[in-house]
Amino acid sequence: MGLDYLWEMPTITQAGPLLLGWNLGLGGTLGVASPIWAGASGVAGLEFNFQPVPIDITIEYRPGLFILPSVGADLVNFSGHIRYHF
């Protein structure tokens, strides 16, 4: 399970219904498998927003720090996803 708080930055460019934007933020994760694990991460994302529908495709860089079950860092972590805004 994860939770992110993102700050939407100004749009980089727009071409018709597509907006190219970016965001910065912080997040937390919690795993309930055995063993339980937890961590925090930074977020820097590039967003492809489709107007007027509330959908975007995002590519993110997410360096993280794990605090359970042991302390460690994951400095090379990228993710991508499709989001629906409601």
- Cβ neighbour number for residue 41 with a 10 Å cutoff: 21
Which tens digits make up the pLDDT trace of 59-82? 999 999 999 988 999 999 999 999
DSSP state of 11: P
How many angstroms separate the CA atoms of 41 and 8, rounded?
Answer: 17
Q: Is the pTM of this model over 0.85?
A: no
Amino acid found at 46: L
pLDDT tens digit string along 16-52?
A: 999 999 999 999 999 998 889 899 999 999 999 988 8
